Amino acid sequence: MTETSITDLLARTHPYDALPAADRMTLAAGAETLEFADGDVIYALGAPVTALCLIVSGQVHITGADGIEVLSILGPGNSFGERGLMRDGMAPVNAVAVAPTQVIAISIEAFKAMIDAHPVAHRFFDRTRSAGAKRQDITTIAVDDLMTRTPLTCTPDAPLIEAAGKMRALGVSCIIVAEDDAVRGILTTGDITSRAVAEGLDLSTPVAQIMTPDPLTLPPSAMVADVLNAMVERAITHMPVTEAGRLVGILTQTDLTRFQATSSAALIHDIAKAPDAASIAKVTARIPELLVQLVSAQNPHQTVTRLITDIGDAATRRLLVLAEERLGPPPVPYLWLACGSQGRQEQTGVSDQDNCLILHDDATDADDAYFAALAKSVSDGLDQAGYFYCPGDMMATNLQWRQPLAIWKRYFQGWIDKPDPQAQMLASVMFDLRPIGGTTALFDGLQEQTLDTAKSNSIFVAHMVSNSLKHTVPLGLFRGFAMARAGEHKNTIDLKHNGVVPIVDLGRIYALTGALTQANTRARIVAGMAEGAVSAAGGRDLLDAYDLIADTRLEHQATQIKRGEAPDNFMPPAALSDFERSHLRDAFVVVKTMQSAAGSGRGYFS
């Protein structure tokens, strides 16, 4: 092709059409025209990528790790090679000509100069960037970034007058009571007023008799949103920060006064004071409005879903408190756990409830009447609050999911020993368990023991991998989307079951093969990369794809809410621009590549 014809082609192809004419001419002058025959391998998985290729004529198949399964079909006007160029310079897939094909090759230097100079090109080729900058507010900042790293401390046997003198000297409102860097309690000015002065205690009284023992703590990796939510739900003003059981800092309301509390914190505050399920439902009815605000502020999906899940957690805990007030104290210790999206902290604007109860092994058959009533009260309240009943009856109201700890251990052992389809389905759901309310000690060790047992059973792992590949991404022929052809959701793609769920399944497999205790999908992928359960290159690509698909899902729901519609997961691709459709297709290609790698045990899957 001549330089003029290349320039004309670039002017008709996005994103080159958005560049100044002079820059298009510069690209054309440095571009090389390459010819490939049917069957020629243009790029091989893991080989160096030497240029960005724009197809002029012919057809190119993008294939997975096995070199057989076709992930995408590219034709004239499509580009490929950018993923390698934006990453480590190595091809993450195979690109093979399946007909006589002509491409324009843009050198690495010219490609990088283009994306450095033109944001429109950078946004088009870099899926890690969104259409706008993410706003960082107080709720999304890590506790580590705001905490006081040298909190005032004293020992449990320190006299009250000594502790109060230290607090006055530094002008602080609390002192951490610690032994060997472990938090034993916290003493605040409020404690001194209400427990010491009001009761006329001697100034030599040890602080251990006045302090609040075993206060709630959070790790430095927690979000400030976690602190705010805990403060308003539990009516506390000081949060010790610990890591591996060691005191590393403190965060107080005073530290946060220059910031306005988030809407999620306000909702949780109202839930914590709600007198009944109906009042809780009035609060959770504001969740759609919160979702719109969070999405409109361009918060990433993991922040939005985490804050929304926090509200679901608070509603569950409040319903447990209300149930106990009505039924009386439980006959034995229990633990309420969430699974599904709540367990993974990934709830959106539309969620059902998936939960269960672990009872202490001292529970008797007669005790079940209490826990059956407790489960019904909480599940009915959650349904009233918009968390509809699980269609598969995976709820604590089902006796099967309301059992003593010993039974739960037998459940997991049985699913691992005999991994039939039903066992695989149940294990998939229950591997996402997360404690919500009750005696958390009942969960201690159960997850780690189950993961170790499961990881060592190669047959179970193989079945779980196979089961994880049943949810397919909505890719059709010729780079089109595979949409529903009939019914209520005709001409839409399901961004949950065919978008997010395949990635959730992969994250669960990484957690299983790496014996990782994380329940959150994004955290599982990150931990999987660190532990070698998934390769660094594959994990990075999957994170990018997950972020794009999950963000698109939330934006779709926010758009529906703003139109006055109930949010769902069924999005018509026609609602997206060509730019957005192109990147969404690329994200689905990444997911399909990772599924192929997981199924074959090669490539990106370590």
Q: In the prediction, which pLDDT does 213 show?
A: 95
Q: In the prediction, which pLDDT does 60 show?
A: 87
Q: In the prediction, which pLDDT does 259 show?
A: 38
Is the pLDDT at 261 greater than 70, yes or no?
no
* Final residue belonging to a domain, choices 416, 442, 463: 463
Residue of higher predicted confidence among 87 and 85: 85
The pLDDT tens digits of the residues spanning 430-464 come to 889 999 999 988 998 888 888 888 888 888 888 88
* Final residue belonging to a domain, choices 256, 281, 316: 256
Is the pLDDT at 520 greater than 50, yes or no?
yes
- In this structure, is residue 487 part of a structural domain? yes
State whether the Cα torsion 173-177-183-186 is positive or negative. Answer: negative
End-to-end CA separation in angstroms for the chain:
43
Same domain, 459 and 480: no
Is the pLDDT at 68 greater than 80, yes or no?
no
**Calpha distance 93→66 (Å, rounded):** 10
Is the pLDDT at 258 greater than 70, yes or no?
no
The pTM of the full predicted model, rounded to 2 decimals, is 0.67
* Final residue belonging to a domain, choices 226, 241, 256: 256
Task: Reduce the DSSP state of residue 141 to 3 states and report it.
Answer: coil
CATH number of the domain encompassing residue 149: 3.10.580.10
C-alpha dist (Å) from residue 30 to 3, 24, 51, 102? 9, 10, 11, 16
Same domain, 455 and 335: yes
Q: In the prediction, which pLDDT does 138 show?
A: 62
**Helix, strand, coil share (%) of the chain residues, nearest 5:** 50, 15, 35
User: pLDDT confidence of 601, banded at 50, 70, 90?
Assistant: low
- In this structure, is residue 606 part of a structural domain? no
Q: Cβ of 532: how many Cβ atoms within 10 Å?
A: 12
User: pLDDT confidence of 477, banded at 50, 70, 90?
Assistant: low
Sheet order of strands, 70-74 included: 41-43, 94-97, 60-63, 70-74
- In this structure, is residue 605 part of a structural domain? no
C-alpha dist (Å) from residue 180 to 138, 155, 162, 188, 240? 32, 9, 19, 21, 15
Same domain, 68 and 41: yes
Same domain, 249 and 297: no
Domain count, the chain: 4
The pLDDT tens digits of the residues spanning 94-136 come to 899 988 999 999 998 899 888 888 877 787 776 433 333 344 4
Q: Is the peptide bond before 15 cis (omega within 30 degrees of 0)?
A: yes
CATH number of the domain encompassing residue 336: 3.30.460.10
**Calpha distance 575→581 (Å, rounded):** 9
- Reference 311, options 387, 384, 217; nearest CA is 387
Q: Parallel, antiparallel, or unpaired for β 246-252 and 334-338?
A: unpaired
Is the pLDDT at 225 greater than 50, yes or no?
yes
The tokens for 252 are 């107080």
Same domain, 66 and 147: no
- In this structure, is residue 440 part of a structural domain? yes
Query: How far is C-alpha 308 from the chain's CA centre?
Result: 12
Same domain, 297 and 409: yes
Residue with tokens 């389809």: 421
- Reference 394, options 356, 350, 421; nearest CA is 356
Side-chain-side CA neighbours of 145 within 13 Å: the count stands at 11
Q: In the prediction, which pLDDT does 257 show?
A: 58
Q: Determine contact, residues 173/189, Cβ cutoff 8 Å.
A: yes
Same domain, 406 and 271: yes
* Phi-psi group of 214: left, alpha or beta (phi > 0 → left; psi -120 to 50 → alpha; rest → beta): left
Range 261-276 burial, b when 16+ CB lie within 10 A, else e: bbbbbbbbbbbbebee
Q: Which amino acid is at 230?
A: A
Q: Determine contact, residues 239/216, Cβ cutoff 8 Å.
A: yes
Query: How far is C-alpha 348 from the chain's CA centre?
Result: 11
Is the pLDDT at 383 greater than 90, yes or no?
yes
The pLDDT tens digits of the residues spanning 313-357 come to 999 999 999 999 999 999 999 999 999 999 999 999 888 899 999
Same domain, 493 and 476: yes
Q: Which structural domain range is residue 109 located in?
A: 3-125
Rounded to 10 deg, the angle between the 536-562 and 578-600 helix axes is 140
- In this structure, is residue 226 part of a structural domain? yes
Q: Determine contact, residues 345/305, Cβ cutoff 8 Å.
A: yes
- In this structure, is residue 393 part of a structural domain? yes
The tokens for 405 are 């700890």
Phi, psi of 380 (to 5 degrees): -65, -40
Same domain, 195 and 234: yes
Same domain, 105 and 225: no
Q: In the prediction, which pLDDT does 479 show?
A: 60
Same domain, 205 and 237: yes
Average pLDDT over residues 489-496: 92
Phi, psi of 266 (to 5 degrees): -65, -40
Same domain, 506 and 584: yes
The pLDDT tens digits of the residues spanning 151-194 come to 999 999 999 999 999 999 988 899 999 999 899 999 999 999 99
